[in-house]
């Protein structure tokens, strides 16, 4: 009679083969998933920038002071931010009702600026790529900066009505 010995566990070769298969699968599957996470962070940062554009537009069109001269002409003073600044600077130009984030989903600072016509918000990408998503881009420090901006708004009235109102009141507004 022959006695069979029962197998007590896995051999070293079987364990090495199983670990090799797991390593190959992880090498094949992880990079695309990391790319998707980065794309999601970029999309979230762009969405966040678009919402900050609306708040920036409020600060851009907010009248700081109004004065009337001797002939009855109104003149308004508006805030300005001609250089890239953090959202903390934008916060100072708004009421306390607004709580703006300092960083975006990519972990970089949210930068804003505005002039008499538009607001701009920058999203700094962690890599260099021209013309990302059809947005305006510039290269800063070897990386890509996406620049989102508001469009000049059309008035509710035809332009000649707006101009007539301005002439009547002798005022210049944004």
Task: Please give the average pLDDT of every successive group of 10 residues along the chain, which has 174 residues.
Answer: 67 94 87 84 92 89 84 83 91 83 91 90 88 86 90 60 67 58
CB proximity list for 174: less than 8 A, separation 6 or greater: 60, 61, 78, 116, 117
Q: What one-character DSSP code corresponds to residue 103?
A: B
**CA-closest candidate to residue 150, choices 111, 117, 104, 101:** 117
**CA-closest candidate to residue 127, choices 108, 112, 113:** 108
Q: What is the pLDDT of residue 50?
A: 92
Q: What is the pLDDT of residue 121?
A: 94
Strands (E), 45-102: 63-68, 74-78, 81-86
């Amino acid at each position: 009679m022959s006695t069979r010995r029962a197998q007590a566990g896995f051999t070293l070769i079987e364990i090495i083969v199983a670990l090799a298969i797991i390593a190959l699968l992880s090498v094949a599957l992880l990079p695309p998933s990391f790319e998707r996470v980065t794309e999601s962070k970029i999309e979230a940062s762009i969405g966040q920038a678009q919402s900050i554009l609306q708040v920036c537009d409020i600060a851009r069109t907010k009248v700081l002071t109004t004065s009337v001269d001797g002939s009855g002409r109104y003149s308004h003073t508006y805030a300005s931010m001609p250089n890239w600044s953090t959202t903390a600077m934008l916060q100072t130009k708004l009421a306390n009702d607004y709580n703006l984030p300092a960083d975006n989903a990519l972990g970089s600072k949210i930068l804003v600026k505005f002039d008499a016509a538009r607001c701009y918000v920058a999203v700094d990408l962690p890599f260099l790529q021209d013309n990302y998503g059809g947005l305006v881009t510039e290269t800063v420090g070897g990386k890509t900066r996406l620049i989102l901006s508001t469009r000049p708004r059309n008035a509710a009235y035809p332009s000649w009505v707006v101009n007539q109102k301005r002439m009547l009141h002798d005022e210049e507004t944004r």
